[in-house]
A and B are shown apart, each in its own frame.
Chain A
């Protein structure tokens, strides 16, 4: 295509490993027209980020690029470092996933912006500062004159990403590369940031290459989609036809694995009433403050009952207190006020025997399976440690036998008891996490974002396993998630949290289909749906509202 702004031709990237080279992407070709938005999607390890970073050679040292990357007709693979430097930040700008670590903590937002502005234009500091405030205003940073002197840690995640975008916009780039720009953000903030990118694009006519794993985001902003898997381009299509008639099997599987809000007509039936397994009455939870300072009250006035065999979805954005409640239910945080009852026993005091009681009845699955398993213990040991601690099962042979049984329950070969976590994939590790939580045959399982760190296809299979086990074994669960569609797929009741308070709770269908509270409505509206038509409609409606 002659009209393209950026054209990748058979781009291949290799990393050096020891003396040899390990190729990570193969024959990647696609192009971007001026003003167009192309989404590069794929699961972890697909090579999408590597491909995007190879455009400006922002890869770590010890990386080799081959093929041709034509930007406005100029080959960036052949270009030398000084030419690349001229293009970086001026013609092509980049924003990154984690705005906290992508900004240098020792410099203010203003320092960063000045650096961006003055790297390509020789302007005096005062002029650059005026321009920096102007840029912050353009990205709708609240109170830009003050925020310019703030350090990254003093801003919220969304504000940090706005600052990052302001830096990227400083030289009015022709192409913006956005590497998972909203992955680390809450859904409502994600929606705002995506709106901002679309708005800036309309105004400046820049092209956008957005790298994402989220099909909802793709449907929302992309004109065209390039799907990658294991270092290769699987298919490349305009967004509508990709969602309607995917060509590759992989794309079809990927789209099917995405949980969709509102697609579950038959939500789990509420279980027969019985004495609640877990009951919170007007509970408040505090994090202790520093010496002679007041603690931080992370949750307050929480009323919540979980019946035997019931799955309750606890949803909310970061800082809403959902993990705090999960930890308190596990006895990991003390209850500052109110009554916490586990299996009919009041454990609010959190004494030694209370904790022992909790640990016999409640277990927990953590978010990140990689860091929640001890890398130096075999998975067999990790799974059966709870048996040793809470039930005093001392016999090694007995524990080994139980470990094999548990592995079998989570559909992993029983012979794997002697393997170590690093030999397993992310999804397998999370199965281990679930097996460990099953070891004590708990009445209640607290699952804290158990699938957030997993790819969608893996997430689907882990959720399926979770549901099957729950039906077989009949445990109750407090399922914590930021993803409404995941919660919809398995919970019979939903509790919506915001800033440590319960906003709304009720049967899943009622809350998610006809929410009573504005906040719940906003949360549902912000969650991107993997359907371009629905997203276009929503965007149009939002634009109307804004005026």
Chain B
């Protein structure tokens, strides 16, 4: 098992290296002068030579490619992701400020999705009939419903009509913990709807398949109670595909919370990314992309390890 985990981590580190190289090359393999490219506004107006020179200086573009590559890699490893063009703020610091907020949001959404999705899917598969067909319909809607629509509906009801929760904004945990949590609830729910639906659907189909497994009959032949048979021989075996879906889902959420963040005016990592893209703030874009890529890979390692714990056949 330990060897299995170490192998996964080694593969993960290799992947991170690959991603970093790709990101580095993305800027340098584009035809033309990257500095010019970064500065061009798309309106045909060319940047002043001084500005171009400044960008070159800032990005180290005037150095040989290998030196740039080495600087880039060592910078990333030591947490130095450069400075923002716009604000001159340290990119690592900006990400350090935004990342926990997004993680908090994604974490809460995932918790809601798992806690609701798995029992829901299992229930639907077990009961069948009306419960099952209703589940299929509702989860289809849940998957298809855009977060900005559902988020707006949430605001309309819970903030404007009922005034139970604030409509949006952010308060730091240190200053006002109560408000911080209140502000987290609606965006997390908006984010969790689609995710819950995906998990419920996956659980439903996995459980349906496992219900017919031979070992379920074996367990029944031992005289175990229905509940025990279901928990230990059906649900337990259904979790493998569900864990995969959860892992993929969390990874996807990390990079795609932007709509929710916009609707609820929540300053997270995705908004930072989108703002930076709009402003052509290259170092920030690069930093955020690296962060998300590393997190994605880390999540996948965790999923692989959980997979190994759940299924002994995978550990090799």
Contacts and interface: CB of A to CB of B under 8 A. Distances in A.
Interface of A: 53, 56, 58, 60, 81, 85-90, 93-94, 96, 98, 101-108, 115-116, 119-120, 151, 153, 164, 167
Contacts of A89: 221-224
B161 interface: no
Given A58-B217, A60-B212, A151-B313, A104 B237 contact: yes
Contacts of B236: 104, 106
B88 interface: no
A292 to B, nearest CB: 13
B278 interface: no
Contact of B312 (A81, A98, A153, A167): A153
B220 interface: yes
A60 B213 CA distance: 11
A471 to B, nearest CB: 43
Contact of B219 (A53, A98, A104): A104
18 contacts: A60-B212, A85-B224, A87-B223, A88-B220, A89-B221, A89-B222, A96-B214, A96-B221, A101-B214, A102-B214, A102-B215, A102-B217, A102-B218, A105-B313, A107-B232, A115-B232, A119-B222, A167-B218
A85 B226 CA distance: 9
Contacts of B215: 101-105
A105 B310 CA distance: 10
Given A105-B311, A105-B313, A106-B311, A98 B223 contact: no
Given A98-B214, A101-B213, A106 B223 contact: no
Contact of A56 (B213, B221, B224, B232): B221
A294 to B, nearest CB: 15
B313 A119 contact: no
Interface in B204-241: 212-215, 217-226, 232-233, 236-237
A56 B32 CA distance: 78
B221 A115 contact: no
A116 B212 CA distance: 20
Select the residue from B213, B222, B224, B310 with max chain A CB neighbours within 10 A.
B222
B53 to A, nearest CB: 48
A88 B223 contact: yes
A153 B313 contact: yes
A164 B219 CA distance: 11
Contacts of A104: 213, 215, 218-219, 232-233, 236-237
Contacts of A116: 222
Contacts, number: 74
A120 B228 CA distance: 14
A178 to B, nearest CB: 12
A106 B219 CA distance: 13
Nearest to B214: A101
B222 A88 contact: yes
Contacts of B311: 105-106
Contacts of B313: 105, 151, 153
Contacts of B237: 104-106
Given A85-B223, A86-B223, A104-B237, A96 B218 contact: yes
A58 B221 contact: yes
B225 A85 contact: yes
Q: Top 5 nearest A-B pairs by Cβ distance?
A: A88-B223, A89-B223, A101-B214, A89-B222, A94-B221
Nearest to A177: B221
B220 to A, nearest CB: 6
Contact of B223 (A105, A107, A120): A120
B313 to A, nearest CB: 5
Contacts of A151: 312-313
B179 to A, nearest CB: 44
Nearest to B236: A106
Contacts of B310: 106
B232 to A, nearest CB: 8
A146 to B, nearest CB: 15
A337 B236 CA distance: 46
B101 to A, nearest CB: 37
Contacts of B312: 105-106, 108, 151, 153
A115 B214 contact: no
Contacts of A119: 222-224
A495 B181 CA distance: 76
A86 B221 CA distance: 10
A319 B215 CA distance: 25
A119 B233 CA distance: 14
A60 B236 CA distance: 20
A393 to B, nearest CB: 42
A94 B313 CA distance: 26
Nearest to B220: A58
Given A86-B223, A115-B232, 4 more contacts: A89-B221, A101-B213, A107-B232, A164-B218
A53 B237 CA distance: 24
A57 to B, nearest CB: 9
Interface in B281-314: 310-313
A85 B229 CA distance: 12
B213 to A, nearest CB: 7
Contacts of A105: 215, 237, 311-313
A93 B221 contact: yes
Contacts of A153: 312-313
A171 to B, nearest CB: 9
A119 B219 CA distance: 10
A120 B225 CA distance: 11
Contacts of B217: 53, 58, 96, 102
A289 to B, nearest CB: 13
A374 to B, nearest CB: 24
Contacts of B224: 85, 89, 115, 119
A94 B221 CA distance: 6
A115 B219 contact: yes
A100 to B, nearest CB: 9
B222 A115 contact: yes
Select the residue from B212, B215, B237 with max chain A CB neighbours within 10 A.
B215
